Chains A and B, each alone.
Chain A
Amino acid sequence: MKILTKWLRAYLPELPVDDARLAEDLTLRGIAVEGIYDLGGGNDTLFEMDLTTNRVDAMNHYGVAREAAAIYGLPLAELSFSLPEAKTSPAPFSVRIEAEDGCGRFTARVLRDVTIGESRDLPGAEVVTYFGLLDQKKISNAVDATNFAWLAMGQPTHAFDLDKLEGGIIVRRARKGEKLRTLDGVERILDSDDLVVADHVKAVGLAGVMGGWDTMITPATRNVLVEAAWFDPAAVRRTARRHGLHTDASHRFERGADFNAPAVASALVSSVLLANGGWIEGELVDVRVAAQEARTASRPTVALALSEVQRILGKTEDKQGITAPIVESILTGLGCKLIGVFKGQAGTGERVAEHRSWPVALPSWRLDLEREIDLIEEVARVYGYNRFANTLPASGEGVQELPWAEAENALRRTLLAAGFHESIGSTFCSADDAGLTAPQPGLVVPLGNPLSEEAGVMRPSLVPGILTMVAGNLHRDVSDVRLFELGTVFSGTTERVEERPALGFGAAGIAPELGALHPERPIEFHDVKGMVEQLLGRFQTRSIYFDRFPAEAGLTPSWLHPYRAARVAAEGETVGWFGQLHPREAAARKLKQAVFIGEVYLDRLYKLPVRKPAAREISRFQPVRRDFSLVLDQGIPWERIDQAVAALAIPELVEWRAREVFRDAKLGDRDYSLLLGVTFQAPDRTLREDELQDFHARVIEAVANAGARLRS
Chain B
Amino acid sequence: MTNEDIPDLTAYDEAALDKAFGTLTQWAREEAGALGGAEAVEAFRLRWIGRKQGRLNDVSAKWLKPAPASAKKGVGERFKVLKDLVEGLLEQGAGSGPSDAALAAEAIDVTLPGTTRLTGAEHPITRTMNEIVSVFAALGYSVGVGPEVETDFYNFECMNFPPGHPARDTQDTLVIANQERKPLRDRLLLRTHTSPVQMRTMERQPPPVRIVIPGKVHRNDAQDATHSPIFHQVEGLCVDTDITFSDLKGTLDHAMKALFGSSVKTRFFPSFFPFTEPSADVQISCIFCGGKGCRKCKQSGWIELLGCGMVDPSVFAFAAEKQPGYDSKKISGFAFGMGVERIAMMKYGISEIGSLFAGDMRFLGQFA
Could you list which residues of chain A lie within 8 angstroms of chain B, going by C-beta atoms? 27-30, 32, 52-55, 237, 311-316, 371, 373-374, 376-377, 380-381, 385-386, 388-402, 405, 412, 415-427, 445-451, 458, 465-466, 468-470, 472-473, 476, 478, 480-484, 487-488, 490, 494, 497, 499, 512-518
Asked if A514 meets B120 with Cβ closer than 8 Å, knowing A27-B269, A381-B278, A399-B141, the reply is: no
> Bound state CA distance, A514 and B280, in angstroms?
51
Q: Which of B118, B242, B272 contacts A513 (CB 8 A)?
A: B118
User: Which B residues between 250 and 299 are near A, CB-CB below 8 angstroms?
Assistant: 250-251, 253-254, 267-272, 277-280
Q: List 12 A-B contacts (CB under 8 A).
A: A314-B246, A388-B245, A389-B249, A396-B210, A412-B126, A422-B122, A427-B148, A427-B190, A513-B116, A514-B113, A516-B112, A516-B113
Quick check: is B229 within 8 A (CB to CB) of the other chain?
yes
Cβ–Cβ contact A313 & B361, under 8 A: no
Distance in angstroms from A224 CB to nearest chain B CB is 35
Measured CB to CB, the nearest residue on chain A to B276 is: A377
Which residues does chain A contribute within 8 Å of B121, judged by CB atoms? 416, 421-422
Measured CB to CB, the nearest residue on chain B to A402 is: B143
What string of 1s and 0s marks CB contacts (under 8 Å) between B110-132 and chain A?
A: 00111111111111011000000
Which residues does chain B contribute within 8 Å of A316, judged by CB atoms? 246
Given contacts A314-B247, A390-B253, A422-B364, 4 further A-B contacts (CB under 8 A): A315-B246, A385-B270, A449-B170, A480-B361
> Bound state CA distance, A15 and B220, in angstroms?
45
Q: What is the number of contacts between chain A and chain B, taking CB atoms within 8 Å?
A: 255
> Bound state CA distance, A371 and B315, in angstroms?
14
Measured CB to CB, the nearest residue on chain A to B116 is: A514
Cβ–Cβ contact A377 & B278, under 8 A: yes
Which residues does chain A contribute within 8 Å of B313, judged by CB atoms? 371, 373
Cβ–Cβ contact B118 & A451, under 8 A: no
Distance in angstroms from B145 CB to nearest chain A CB is 6
> Bound state CA distance, A316 and B143, in angstroms?
30
What string of 1s and 0s marks CB contacts (under 8 Å) between B345-368 and chain A?
A: 000000000001111111011001
Could you list which residues of chain B lie within 8 angstroms of chain A, going by C-beta atoms? 112-123, 125-126, 137, 139-143, 145, 147-149, 164, 170, 174-179, 188, 190, 208-210, 216, 218, 220, 229-230, 238, 240, 242-247, 249-251, 253-254, 267-272, 277-280, 310, 312-313, 332, 356-362, 364-365, 368
Distance in angstroms from A560 CB to nearest chain B CB is 20
Asked if A448 meets B175 with Cβ closer than 8 Å, knowing A402-B143, A424-B123, A424-B125, the reply is: yes
- Which of B176, B267, B269, B332 has the most CB atoms of chain A within a 10 A radius of its CB? B176
Which secondary structure dominates chain B's binding surface? mixed
Cβ–Cβ contact B364 & A423, under 8 A: yes
Measured CB to CB, the nearest residue on chain B to A468 is: B359
Which residues does chain A contribute within 8 Å of B178, judged by CB atoms? 446, 448, 494
Which residues does chain B contribute within 8 Å of A52, judged by CB atoms? 271-272
Cβ–Cβ contact A515 & B269, under 8 A: no
Which residues does chain B contribute within 8 Å of A480, judged by CB atoms? 361
> Bound state CA distance, A394 and B210, in angstroms?
11
Measured CB to CB, the nearest residue on chain B to A374 is: B277
- Which of B121, B250, B254, B270 has the most CB atoms of chain A within a 10 A radius of its CB? B270
Distance in angstroms from A45 CB to nearest chain B CB is 18
Asked if A30 meets B269 with Cβ closer than 8 Å, knowing A393-B243, A514-B115, the reply is: yes
Asked if A388 meets B142 with Cβ closer than 8 Å, knowing A418-B120, A472-B360, the reply is: no
Which residues does chain B contribute within 8 Å of A419, judged by CB atoms? 117-120
Asked if A421 meets B365 with Cβ closer than 8 Å, knowing A483-B359, A516-B112, the reply is: yes
> Bound state CA distance, A382 and B94, in angstroms?
87
Which residues does chain A contribute within 8 Å of B188, judged by CB atoms? 494, 497
> Bound state CA distance, A380 and B310, in angstroms?
11
Q: Which of A371, A476, A499, A514 contacts B360 (CB 8 A)?
A: A476
Measured CB to CB, the nearest residue on chain B to A506 is: B359
Cβ–Cβ contact A402 & B123, under 8 A: no
Cβ–Cβ contact A515 & B114, under 8 A: yes
Which residues does chain A contribute within 8 Å of B364, judged by CB atoms? 421-423, 483
Cβ–Cβ contact A385 & B149, under 8 A: no
Closest 8 CB pairs of A and B: A314-B244, A469-B359, A30-B270, A515-B115, A314-B246, A390-B250, A385-B268, A512-B118
> Bound state CA distance, A412 and B120, in angstroms?
10
Which residues does chain B contribute within 8 Å of A377, judged by CB atoms? 270, 277-279
> Bound state CA distance, A396 and B140, in angstroms?
6
Q: Which of A389, A397, A427, A483 contacts B361 (CB 8 A)?
A: A483
Cβ–Cβ contact B177 & A499, under 8 A: no
> Bound state CA distance, A516 and B115, in angstroms?
7
Measured CB to CB, the nearest residue on chain B to A486 is: B126
Measured CB to CB, the nearest residue on chain B to A517 is: B115
> Bound state CA distance, A172 and B226, in angstroms?
48
Cβ–Cβ contact B149 & A499, under 8 A: yes
Cβ–Cβ contact A518 & B140, under 8 A: no
Cβ–Cβ contact B229 & A451, under 8 A: yes
Which residues does chain A contribute within 8 Å of B357, judged by CB atoms? 423-426
Cβ–Cβ contact B271 & A30, under 8 A: yes
- Which of A28, A423, A426 has the most CB atoms of chain B within a 10 A radius of its CB? A423
Measured CB to CB, the nearest residue on chain B to A254 is: B164
Measured CB to CB, the nearest residue on chain A to B279 is: A377
Which residues does chain A contribute within 8 Å of B122, judged by CB atoms? 412, 416, 422
Cβ–Cβ contact A402 & B145, under 8 A: yes
> Bound state CA distance, A422 and B246, in angstroms?
39
> Bound state CA distance, A394 and B243, in angstroms?
9
Asked if A446 meets B177 with Cβ closer than 8 Å, knowing A427-B216, A497-B188, the reply is: yes
Distance in angstroms from B13 CB to nearest chain A CB is 56
Cβ–Cβ contact B140 & A399, under 8 A: yes
Q: Which of B113, B125, B175, B361 contacts A478 (CB 8 A)?
A: B361
Q: Which of B118, B208, B278, B368 contacts A376 (CB 8 A)?
A: B278
Measured CB to CB, the nearest residue on chain B to A488 is: B148
> Bound state CA distance, A380 and B269, in angstroms?
11
Which residues does chain A contribute within 8 Å of B277, judged by CB atoms? 373-374, 376-377
Cβ–Cβ contact A478 & B360, under 8 A: yes
Cβ–Cβ contact A422 & B120, under 8 A: yes
Cβ–Cβ contact A393 & B142, under 8 A: no
Asked if A427 meets B230 with Cβ closer than 8 Å, knowing A419-B118, A446-B176, the reply is: yes
Cβ–Cβ contact A473 & B359, under 8 A: yes
Measured CB to CB, the nearest residue on chain A to B274 is: A54
Distance in angstroms from B32 CB to nearest chain A CB is 37
Cβ–Cβ contact A381 & B270, under 8 A: yes
> Bound state CA distance, A416 and B280, in angstroms?
39
Which residues does chain A contribute within 8 Å of B368, judged by CB atoms? 421
Cβ–Cβ contact A28 & B115, under 8 A: no
> Bound state CA distance, A470 and B121, in angstroms?
16
Which residues does chain B contribute within 8 Å of A398, judged by CB atoms? 140
> Bound state CA distance, A458 and B208, in angstroms?
36
Q: Which of B112, B137, B247 contacts A393 (CB 8 A)?
A: B247
Which residues does chain A contribute within 8 Å of B244, judged by CB atoms? 311-315, 391, 393
Which residues does chain A contribute within 8 Å of B113, judged by CB atoms? 514-516
> Bound state CA distance, A314 and B278, in angstroms?
13
Which residues does chain B contribute within 8 Å of A385, judged by CB atoms? 245, 249, 267-270, 278, 280
Which residues does chain A contribute within 8 Å of B271, judged by CB atoms? 30, 52
Cβ–Cβ contact B115 & A400, under 8 A: no
Cβ–Cβ contact A420 & B115, under 8 A: no
Which residues does chain A contribute within 8 Å of B125, judged by CB atoms? 424
Which residues does chain B contribute within 8 Å of A425, judged by CB atoms? 357, 359
Cβ–Cβ contact B216 & A481, under 8 A: no
Cβ–Cβ contact B240 & A424, under 8 A: no
Measured CB to CB, the nearest residue on chain B to A456 is: B177
> Bound state CA distance, A55 and B279, in angstroms?
14
Which residues does chain A contribute within 8 Å of B210, judged by CB atoms? 396-397
Distance in angstroms from A368 CB to nearest chain B CB is 9
Which residues does chain B contribute within 8 Å of A499, judged by CB atoms? 147-149
Distance in angstroms from A665 CB to nearest chain B CB is 32
Cβ–Cβ contact A390 & B246, under 8 A: yes
> Bound state CA distance, A416 and B368, in angstroms?
9
> Bound state CA distance, A87 and B165, in angstroms?
48
Asked if A405 meets B123 with Cβ closer than 8 Å, knowing A381-B270, A385-B270, A427-B148, the reply is: no
Which residues does chain B contribute within 8 Å of A468, judged by CB atoms? 359
